[in-house]
Structure 1
Amino acid sequence: MKFVVSSTMLLSHLSVVSRVISSKNTLPILDNFLFKLEGNELEITASDLESTLTTKITLDNVMGDGSIAIPFKILIDTLKEFSEQPLTFEIDPGSLAVVIHSENGQFNIVGQPADDFPKPAELSPESKVSVKVAADVMLNGITKTIFATADDEMRPVMNGIFVELTAEGMTFVASDSHKLVRYRRKDVQVEEFSSFILPKKPANLLKSILVKETGSVNVEFDSKNARFTMSGYTLVCRLVEGEYPNYSAVIPVDNPNRMIIDRVDFYNSVRRVSIYSNAASNLIKLGLTSNQCEVSAQDLDFSVSAFERLNCDYQGDEMEIGFKSAFLVEILANLSSTEVVLSMSDPSRAGLIFPHQNENPDEDVLMLLMPMMIGA
């Protein structure tokens, strides 16, 4: 088994695939890449048992077929030190010897039997749901929501992104009980209702791959696993099992108090003023009047305080409401519109933050933030 491959091309593919590999693998074989050569196509796989990521490289100079597991760290560390050049891999399936020939030398590695590498999970043909989603839709859905996922061992369903498919569109939801994000796309439709909870690690893997994708993603899932097929990569992952809470029930409907404000000005002001907030509470106060929003914070322990006044369009009762500044900054950072709307009913109920005008008519972004008690 022999093939020639570009050093930089191989490194770029391995760098993406290696993100699956866990630093705490329970099986030694998982510290390897699985190389499978068939015809002129080299298939490379990495896995942590929960997620399996595969990529394919088309080669010109190939001899023989076969497969072998190669230690990931020594291979990646070696490739990082090469300038762009062709590398020749000679693999003996019997002795598991891997010889890499470069322009000026030779590198010897011992592989592992390919049969020891775990197979990716198969989806049930009877219960499998399939849908084609544009790469940018999938990327935006993950990017807009992943920051709001929880790290809750007691409620694992909250640690992933809830993806819901209906006749009206595709919805991505994430919440950590302090904040909630709902991202909807009307341009993705399916005939029957279906849903799944995507864990955080495969969501981050998809996010890193989808940045370079331009076509569509074939999404297939059943009750336990999902498969995402892209132009150069295939990701198979175990889904979070369980029922996601009824997120619609926590979104307040009647919100007569409404502020429209420049997002960047608001974001920068909150960041500056929050430096003066109490380190434990991170509380920032918004004082709202008809044409001004006063952003303020104080830390009585250190006798420091700050406030800034921003111009805004506010319709509603004069109000003072408190938020955790770190969460408010995160939400504003993950919106991309010029102006945002803060919609509220009263200082004790959740505030809704969303773009004043959606950049894409098929897009609907809603972010919810729970308030903090100002007198606490």
Structure 2
Amino acid sequence: MKFTLSSTALSNKLFALAKVINSKNSLPVLADFVFKTEGNVLFITTSDGENTMSTTLELSECDANDSFAIENHNLLEAVKGFSEQPLTFDVDNNSKNVKIIYQNGQFSLPIDEADNFPKPQTVSDMAPNISLSSALLAENITRSVFATAQDELRPVMNGIYFCISSEGLVVVATDGHKLVRNRIFDIKSEQESSFILPKKPALLLKNMLAKDDSIVSMKFDNANAEVVFGDTRLVCRLIEGRYPNYKSVIPQNNPNTMTIDRDTLLGALKRVQPFANDTSKLVRFRIDSHVLQLDAEDFDFSKTATERMSCEYDGTPMSIGFKGNSFIEVLNNIEESEVALKLSDPSRAGIVVPSVQQENQDLLMLLMPMLLND
């Protein structure tokens, strides 16, 4: 079998798909790309056993329909240095070898049987489906994934929770100390359904989704999800279990509200945070009238830092402690120029929201406070 295609197009697809492959694999074939030709279309597939991603490429020439598997590392090393030019794959299944011919030379690599590659799970066409723009999904994954946990005892906390109902789509992530919840009101379903997307496929989607209005389809059942975007299809195993009742930790009565420029607060936290204790990361927020004061200290190394800035505050004077690095992560994942910190008292969670919400959305980020030693 022979087929010809663009070197740049192949290289871009291979490096995107390679992110699925683990450095160590339970089966040798999971270190391979699977190539399959049908007419003038090439299908390329990779898998780690739980996540399977496939995409298509148009071929300028192809003389047969066939398939083979090829080890990823050697092929990636070979194609990454090419300028744009046609590449011809000459596949010999008898000798288990493929010859790759380019303008100034050629190289050959061994191939494996594609039949040894595990078949991905299927999701029924009757399964629940969520359709949304690529940019919206990428945005929600980006600002949620940092709040997921690494908890072997509670695996449901290690992914992003999607729930669609007649009230809209809710995207949630939490590690028990910080929480992100975004409600999207214009994506609805008469029947409520939900799933928990693991961190690895979430990061794959974050890096591959286009920031445009193209439509992404997410179809899911109790065990697997199928995500289709552009010419790429991802099938992943979901995290099984019941997601915790995140609503119960969100304070409903927050009479104290501080409004502040996001960049000003972010810059101050980045300057003060290095002076906090390495273990606790504690930064004290002292809020009074129109002034916010940040304090960090590490008495073990005789380090202290204080910074004051102006803010708008409606409430009683308060001192509350937060992990400085977690607060920085929250601010890094809010795009609006101004944020509001809503508080009830120093022992209850603080809520950070953009001062102006995006159309048809309601974004909320929550941080649990830390005990202050006054």
Q: Deviations over 1:231-270 (max 9, x none)?
A: 1210000000000001001101011111001111001001
Cα shift at 1:343: 0.4
Match of 1:173 in 2: 172
Aligned-partner SS, 1:234: strand
Aligned-partner SS, 1:280: coil
Match of 2:364 in 1: 366
The separation in 1 between residues aligned to 2:4 and 2:361, in whole angstroms, is 45
Match of 1:3 in 2: 3
The separation in 2 between residues aligned to 1:291 and 1:106, in whole angstroms, is 70
Q: TM-score, normalised by structure 1?
A: 0.97
Check whether the contact 2:5–2:58 (CA below 8 A) recurs between aligned residues: no
The separation in 2 between residues aligned to 1:46 and 1:202, in whole angstroms, is 13
- Structure 2: gaps of 5 or more residues: none
Match of 1:12 in 2: 12
Match of 2:189 in 1: 190
Match of 1:54 in 2: 54
Check whether the contact 2:17–2:54 (CA below 8 A) recurs between aligned residues: yes
Check whether the contact 1:163–1:171 (CA below 8 A) recurs between aligned residues: yes
Check whether the contact 1:137–1:185 (CA below 8 A) recurs between aligned residues: no
The separation in 1 between residues aligned to 2:239 and 2:91, in whole angstroms, is 39
Cα shift at 1:131: 2.5
The separation in 2 between residues aligned to 1:300 and 1:234, in whole angstroms, is 53
Letter of the 1:62 counterpart: C
RMSD, aligned α-carbons: 1.1
Check whether the contact 1:213–1:231 (CA below 8 A) recurs between aligned residues: no
Written as runs of structure 1 = structure 2, the 5 A alignment for 1:218-297 is 218-297=217-296
Q: Deviations over 1:305-326 (max 9, x none)?
A: 1111111111111100000101
Aligned-partner SS, 1:275: helix
The separation in 1 between residues aligned to 2:306 and 2:40, in whole angstroms, is 65
Cα shift at 1:100: 0.4
The separation in 2 between residues aligned to 1:368 and 1:90, in whole angstroms, is 56
Identity score, percent: 46
Cα shift at 1:214: 3.9
Aligned-partner SS, 1:106: strand
Q: TM-score, normalised by structure 2?
A: 0.98
Check whether the contact 1:144–1:183 (CA below 8 A) recurs between aligned residues: no
Letter of the 1:27 counterpart: L
Letter of the 2:97 counterpart: A
- Structure 1: gaps of 5 or more residues: none
Letter of the 1:25 counterpart: N
The separation in 1 between residues aligned to 2:135 and 2:189, in whole angstroms, is 18
Following TM superposition, the consecutive aligned residue runs of length 4 or more in structure 1 with deviations greater than 6 angstroms are: none
Cα shift at 1:85: 1.4
Aligned length: 374
Does the C-alpha gap of structure 1 residues 271 and 136 become closer, same or farther in structure 2, counting only changes over 3 Å?
A: same
The separation in 1 between residues aligned to 2:114 and 2:84, in whole angstroms, is 28
Check whether the contact 2:138–2:211 (CA below 8 A) recurs between aligned residues: no
Greater displacement, 94-103 / 113-122: 94-103
The separation in 1 between residues aligned to 2:360 and 2:22, in whole angstroms, is 37
The separation in 2 between residues aligned to 1:179 and 1:162, in whole angstroms, is 14
Does the C-alpha gap of structure 1 residues 125 and 8 become closer, same or farther in structure 2, counting only changes over 3 Å?
A: closer
Letter of the 1:268 counterpart: G
Check whether the contact 1:66–1:93 (CA below 8 A) recurs between aligned residues: no
